[in-house]
Chain A
Amino acid sequence: MKPATISPGSSKGEESKFKRMFVDIWKYRMTYTLLIPGLIWLILFAYMPMAGLSLAFKHFRANDGIWGSEFIGLENFEYLFRDPAFAAAVWRTLYVNIIKLFITFPFPILLALLLNELRMRRYKKVLQTAFTFPHFLSWIIVSGIIINVLAYDGFVNSLLSLVGLPTVNFLGSEQNFYPMIILTDIWKSTGWGAIVFMAAISGIDQEQYEAAQIDGATRIQQMFRVTLPNIMPTVTIMFILSVGGLMSSGFDQIFNLANAATQNVSQVLDVYIYRVTFQSSSDFGFSSAVSLFRSIVNMVLLLLADRAAKWMGGDGLFR
């Protein structure tokens, strides 16, 4: 970048720098045209809504729109933090997602380990197909299946009464709601989650297994002493990354599995946002305040997760 001869006036150097910049930009004009369609989309449907969050500090009136509404400072937030339903929704979200995280997290690892040890290769393929399939279905479809199977007169309850056990109201009771959320989450996403760990396992150096076998290690010992320690970095990263979603995950599932009987326990933050925005008399300023709160917390969690993952020696969220 440095010119060989020192230019007498700095202004002239600046000028040529600018000129060079424009020449450069002109040179790459084609590249920018590639970016334009995507950038237009991002401006319209990502950055405009972001700017629209400024409604959180405004008193929304439909006639004035997002930009013309009156500025009222933090009033919406004062209402928000005084709303007991909001605080309850925040804690409920964290509670559900944290227990979900701790209980569901080991399942994909376990599945990957077991599939890895399965020696029938054809059958392994079949199993993987079965396990990953539910991931590609929407929570609406899965709810349809689950509601049917766990209904009062459904498959599971019929089976229970057949063997003489009492039937259970799986989906219609507050106290069973969170266990059902965990169970259905395991049902739907274990197979997909296992793929990352399977990939990590297939990357393990085979000499380690050979060495272990020469030392007389059994297969179970190999599993715990070779396979597991080798995939531990992946395990750590995946765990940290799921911490990033503590405030945002699970809406589709909870919203579709909830019903009138579980109305109270199902009101996590996103459900709360939906209800205050589109079901009760809507005050978009107030809902924007909730959204802004949610977005900021999400961002902080994600950035913390990213930092932690990088600190652990992983790629982080964005390479």
Chain B
Amino acid sequence: MSTLARKTKKAKFSTNRITALDIFIFIVLTLGALAILIPFWNVIMISFATQREYAENPLLMWPKEPTLNSYKALFADGSIGSGYWNTIKLMAVGLPLSMFLTVSMAYGLSRPKFPGKKPIFFLVLFTMIFNGGIVPLYLVMKDLHLTGSLWSVILAGSFSVFNMIIMMNYFQGLPESLMESARLDGAGEWRILFSVVLPLAAPIMATIALFYGVAFWNSWYDAMVFLRKADQLPLQNVLRAIIVESQTNASNATTIGQGGGAESFSTGMKMAAVFVTIVPIMAFFPMLQKHFAKGVLTGAIKT
């Protein structure tokens, strides 16, 4: 709201002439945006191109004979499908769990006072400053017999103190009188949380859910460490195997794009895998952007 007021004010003061400065800024920013977009465009176009066309012209801006062969080859291999499925499982279980853990603790800690609040809060914060790292976490997971199961990845990623604090700050901003009156009506804290607080917290719930969602979607390190079998791996790890690891292996070989003969175009397949992994983020990005543009997160980013 304040930005809008500012803009109208500014428009009144600044002249409407287009100056050299405007042109300069326009050019710099456009070039910057192109530097971001062209690589994406290139990836997408290669994924739809034939090997012959790509070999003739890697600058490919629009394939003359678009084909879905790379996608067919990618899905025929099956690993991307199982990666997708594992990531969906990860999110289907991980998201509700993480929201439950985050919301309950955030509301608990947002209560103005209760005995032991300070030490408990300190213990929570301390995990942000000091952590054991992956090695003992791996051993703990092993002790719990969770390694080799998707549960290890779900549990390891299902709580973030950072997200919890953002949510706690939001809860602290809600009027205490609402909860007090519910309390007088005999509602317990859990009831208050679910029927009074959460209905008022839709924007922050959406934001935090999107945060966890993106984090789950992008997570790979836990899975790389905790999981052993290839068919358990989430999408990112499958993508990594397709792109990064094959690159390492292929660095000895002379030709990357021609392995496998005529029918498989490995660069095209790799790019198809990249695109398939980006698409869901692209689909949710307008939502994400709406939320962080709203300023919900400006305080969060600062911390």
- List the interface of chain A (C-beta within 8 A of B): 21, 24-25, 28, 30-35, 37-39, 41-42, 44-53, 55, 65-66, 111, 114-115, 117-121, 126-134, 136-138, 140-141, 143-149, 151, 153-155, 157-159, 162, 172, 187, 191, 195-196, 199, 202-203, 206, 209-210, 213, 219-220, 234, 237, 252, 256, 259-261, 273-274, 277-278, 284, 287-288, 290-291, 294-296, 298-299, 302-303, 315, 317-319
Q: Is the CB–CB distance between A118 and B243 below 8 Å?
A: no
Q: How far is the CB of A265 from chain B (nearest CB, A)?
A: 15
- Residues of A close to B108: CB separation below 8 A: 31-32, 34-35, 38
Q: Is the CB–CB distance between A144 and B59 below 8 Å?
A: no
Q: Is the CB–CB distance between B271 and A148 below 8 Å?
A: yes
A34 touching B193 in the complex, CB below 8 Å, given contacts A118-B29, A140-B239, A141-B277? yes
A37 touching B104 in the complex, CB below 8 Å, given contacts A28-B115, A114-B25? yes
- Residues of A close to B214: CB separation below 8 A: 136
Q: Is the CB–CB distance between A153 and B125 below 8 Å?
A: no
Residue interface bits B30-71, CB-to-A below 8 A is 1, else 0: 101101111110110010000000000111000000000000
A49 touching B133 in the complex, CB below 8 Å, given contacts A31-B111, A199-B298? yes
Report the stretch among B7-15, B74-82, B88-96, B199-207 that lies at the interface. B7-15
| Interface pairs A-B: 7 shortest CB-CB | A52-B136, A49-B132, A38-B105, A34-B108, A138-B218, A49-B136, A28-B114
Q: Is the CB–CB distance between A66 and B139 below 8 Å?
A: yes
- Residues of A close to B181: CB separation below 8 A: none
B115 interface neighbour in A21, A114, A147, A278, Cβ under 8 Å: A21
B104 interface neighbour in A35, A50, A209, A237, Cβ under 8 Å: A35
For chain B, which range describes its interface: under 10, 10 to 19, 20 to 34, or 35 or more residues?
Answer: 35 or more
- List the interface of chain B (C-beta within 8 A of A): 2-3, 6-7, 9-10, 13-14, 19, 21-22, 25-26, 28-30, 32-33, 35-40, 42-43, 46, 57-59, 100-102, 104-105, 107-109, 111, 114-116, 120, 123-125, 127-140, 143-144, 155-156, 158-159, 161, 164-165, 188-190, 193, 214, 217-221, 225, 236, 239-240, 243-244, 247-248, 251-252, 256-257, 267, 270-271, 273-274, 277-278, 281-282, 285, 288-289, 292-293, 295, 297-298, 301-303
Q: Is the CB–CB distance between B104 and A273 below 8 Å?
A: no
* A287–B102 alpha-carbon span in the complex (Å): 31
Chain A, Cβ-Cβ closest to B241: A140
A288 touching B136 in the complex, CB below 8 Å, given contacts A155-B42, A202-B2? yes
Known contacts A28-B111, A126-B33, A136-B285; 19 additional CB pairs below 8 A are: A35-B108, A39-B120, A44-B144, A45-B159, A50-B131, A52-B139, A128-B289, A130-B37, A138-B218, A140-B243, A144-B239, A148-B42, A195-B298, A213-B13, A219-B14, A259-B251, A260-B252, A277-B134, A298-B130
* A294–B131 alpha-carbon span in the complex (Å): 9
- Residues of A close to B155: CB separation below 8 A: 41, 44-45
A129 touching B289 in the complex, CB below 8 Å, given contacts A28-B115, A153-B257, A206-B6? yes
* A202–B123 alpha-carbon span in the complex (Å): 36
* A207–B278 alpha-carbon span in the complex (Å): 44
Q: Is the CB–CB distance between A287 and B135 below 8 Å?
A: yes
Q: Is the CB–CB distance between A315 and B303 below 8 Å?
A: yes
8 A-B pairs (CB sep. < 8 Å): A31-B114, A34-B189, A37-B105, A148-B42, A199-B295, A278-B225, A291-B133, A294-B133
* A237–B16 alpha-carbon span in the complex (Å): 36
A127 touching B29 in the complex, CB below 8 Å, given contacts A119-B22, A315-B302? yes
Q: How far is the CB of B126 from chain A (nearest CB, A)?
A: 9
Q: Is the CB–CB distance between A210 and B13 below 8 Å?
A: yes
- Residues of B close to A136: CB separation below 8 A: 214, 218, 281, 285, 288
* A162–B240 alpha-carbon span in the complex (Å): 31
Chain A, Cβ-Cβ closest to B40: A145
Q: Is the CB–CB distance between B21 and A220 below 8 Å?
A: yes
Q: Is the CB–CB distance between B43 and A53 below 8 Å?
A: no
* A30–B9 alpha-carbon span in the complex (Å): 51
* A147–B140 alpha-carbon span in the complex (Å): 36
Chain A, Cβ-Cβ closest to B111: A31
Q: Is the CB–CB distance between A143 and B101 below 8 Å?
A: no
Chain A, Cβ-Cβ closest to B26: A118
B221 interface neighbour in A121, A234, A252, A318, Cβ under 8 Å: A252
* A87–B127 alpha-carbon span in the complex (Å): 26
* A296–B173 alpha-carbon span in the complex (Å): 34
* A300–B109 alpha-carbon span in the complex (Å): 26
- Residues of B close to A118: CB separation below 8 A: 22, 25-26, 29
Q: Is the CB–CB distance between A291 and B39 below 8 Å?
A: no
- Residues of A close to B297: CB separation below 8 A: 195
- Residues of A close to B220: CB separation below 8 A: 138, 140
Q: Is the CB–CB distance between B33 and A141 below 8 Å?
A: no
A144 touching B218 in the complex, CB below 8 Å, given contacts A52-B139, A133-B36? no
- Residues of B close to A117: CB separation below 8 A: 21-22, 25
Q: Is the CB–CB distance between B251 and A55 below 8 Å?
A: no
- Residues of B close to A303: CB separation below 8 A: 129
